[in-house]
Structure 1
Amino acid sequence: VGVFQVESAGMRKALIGMRPDCIEDIIALVALYRPGPMENIPVYNARKHGEEEIESIHPTIDYLLKETQGVIVYQEQVMQVAQVLSGYSLGEADLLRRAMGKKIKEEMDKQRARFVDGAVKNGVGKPQADNIFDLLAKFANYGFNKSHAAAYAIVSYQTAYMKAHYPVEFLAASMTLDMANTEKLVDFRQDAGRLGIEVVPPSVQTSFRHFQTGPNRIYYSLAALKGVGDAAVEHIVAVRGDTPFVDLEDFCVRIDPKQINRRVFEGLIFAGAFDCFGRDRAEMIAGMDRIIGFAQRAQENAVSGQSDMFGAGGATGPERISFPSFTPWLPSEKLMREFQVLGFYLSAHPLDTYKPLLEKMRVQNFADFSQAVRQGATAGRLAGTVISKQERKTRTGNKMGIVTFSDATGQFEAVLFSEGLNQYRDLLESGKSLVITVAAEERPEGIGLRIQTAQSLEEKSLQMQKALRVYLRDSSPLRALAAHLNTKGDGLVSFVVIKEDGRREIEVELQQRYRITPEIAAAMRTAPGVVDVELV
């Protein structure tokens, strides 16, 4: 991932098969990995690893093809064969290359006569000379210029070297280069995880305009957040300087609200860039007007010189922002807003709350399933959160769907055709988490998936989990917990009060039954004063 010319799934698979041990192998792969010549990659690999004998075209030219395992790969090889076998001059050989590329019959007939005559004079039989000319013509039709392939391969090697020896710096630079490309950022973030490199979520305390590096970590760029913008980020970094923000109020006092407007504030909150101040994201969104008003008053007072109310000079200390009451977001709501500004899930994943259930159902993640497909598996069960859905018409006029899913190991696509699309269309909405059964096959571009069945993960959890227990030490969390019990259902809810340092418990079962899901349990678990929440 990120290595020039060889980062596609097909190229990576070809590299694994080739096991290159010299720059010539990489040059050959760059030249071969194109429609037409790529069918020779298995031949090249088999001969390189001694699994297949190298076939001699003619003893006098074998040395010209030695570095490419007897496979004609480059235009230069076609020219060299013509020189050695048929006595072409350099100029004549270049004319031969052009004629073979253009496939003009009249010119090809002239070149065949010239090539065969020259080869016969050098002791090659006419039938064999004709066969060699046909072979050259076949390869010259899609032969690649070695000088170009070599230039690409050198850069491939250099970027691979940088990634191998300086992975943190390499990935940070790559993410900065592609910060507007969400798909690339997803790939780089996954690769960082594979390499054990921490990607630190965006924060107004630690982030900059570019992706920055630390000890085995990458600090996420504020400029990569949708709706924030370079000018706003540069302003935040400038006013922060070498002095971290003390709290949200200090941030509001130091910034210019004309540069950090409502849209920027919302983007920063959704991304978690203010989490460092200990405020709930839903609370800050509910209090957005008050935050902006506070920043505007601070700016006006700074201009007029009346800044004591925001400093430490007052008897009651600096002014604080008074937040209104708010309804906490469910984990999926919080992550969906995060997804809106980042383009992927970073701090957590919607499937995390369903982990015990997925383990019980023996659902695989996409990374493990991909490995199983490469080893011969053709079907499986996956879980994913819908990222997007496209509908297209097939050549027969029927509709098909292409759905992009996300799980903790990355993003993947699956298709379904008209019957399945009609059956599951309502489930395939962005943000919904599903369990799907799929048929799978390995292809050059990656793993191909076809959806056979789909089911809402939330509905599945309702079928399998019938009771919820909330463990607490006193009644203080009850008001916050009641906000999550607002939908009637079939789930049994009980509160377990822990007494005498755990030596005694009192369980109180609610008479009313409620809708309970792993999401609701996860939201309750974050309420202050809650010891644990258990779904059974």
Structure 2
Amino acid sequence: GYFLIVADFIKWAKSQGIPVGPGRGSGAGSLVAYSTTITDIDPLRFSLLFERFLNPDRVSMPDFDIDFCQDRREEVIRYVQQKYGRDQVGQIITFGTLQARAVLRDVGRVLQMPYGQVDKLSKMVPQNPANPVKLADAIANEPRFAEEAEKEPIVQTLLDTAQKLEGLYRHASTHAAGIVIGDRPLSELVPMYRDPRSDMPVTQFNMKYVEQAGLVKFDFLGLKTLTVLETAVKLIRRRGVDIDLATIPLDDKETYSMLSRGEVVGVFQVESAGMRKALIGMRPDCIEDIIALVALYRPGPMENIPTYNARKHGEEEMASIHPKIDHLVKETQGVIVYQEQVMQIAQELSGYSLGEADLLRRAMGKKIRAEMDKQRERFVSGAVERGVSKPQADFIFDLLAKFADYGFNKSHAAAYAVVSYQTAYLKAHYPVEFLAASMTLDMS
């Protein structure tokens, strides 16, 4: 039922001329999603894994993230409301928590401390939105906190109080993209409330508890790049050329030449100065290069970009991890880039099913010692049974554990690389129309 519901509103959107992204997140690894036009990424062509999306060894609901043209996303939500009933469709509440910097500022305000002093203290906490630093860790690693507390007792009061309040809910908001659809009025299933900023009802349960109550979440996201592409295609049509973005060749030399020159203004995902430099060094000549770059260009993995580039251009020999698994990393120049590669290596080397391999990947990401020890024993014994020496198996397990920390979802990288390539293709062949569309959207 879930697949059919998603397929229905995507087909409706496409029938109304509303641009829909080719895919997003792990859902692009599903062949059923591709065959029902939920996604436009062929998982067989890109070697994507269904088990990364829906694991038979882990009880969880499927979860498609769908990108729609930013200007017309609301039309799709209205269609869903009309089809299933306004009282059966709602948004999901989210709760903002007090994190280290925010809790220092809030407690400092209550203690009536000078703004400049509190601001200085809060900025001693490292800024890492992806993995927020706990206040206790920041205090332990930053000696200036102790120095300031010694100078003024109120600073110690601030630090003690802030640590007690850290992690508590600060405010309620509405999930930016999440929508739930019920088989009956939502008020019969979960408590509801009205967000004054929205005309849709909102669940009082957050995402975790909404799922436990039996509701399924659908993500309706707005992506302005889809609006740019649609506008550019309409402008190109004025000169008598009809472009179908789903069928443009993925091996166009002009497009890759433009990317290799770093001419990336307006090109989705790759227009930053750092990406431009990476592209010039990489000199991409296939869509797999763009997929790898989308995955690599993040803190941590980006240190592997020079290695990838050197091996791609024959300046460095590709090091062998193990003959049994070298073919799994050949596409990425011997560098483990994707979460799916971690899963495939566990399958090939140690006899994991892909479902079990996904659980291994998750365990490596969480770094829970007891679970890691259990997985190491399973991985090493499986590898030894298949002719791998124990030291080699231990080495490869540690290597995978390191990469699992920041390995990227290949399904998502592939989907966004295709959108990036589509923008690059239009810029390379129809620069006037593409840049006009891009600038028009920026102006509005």
Q: Output the TM-score relative to the length of structure 1.
A: 0.33
User: Rg bigger for which structure?
Assistant: 1
Report the structure, 1 or 2, having the larger helix content: 2
Report the structure, 1 or 2, having the larger strand content: 1
Q: Output the TM-score relative to the length of structure 2.
A: 0.40
Relative contact order, CA 8 A, sep 6+: which one is greater? 2
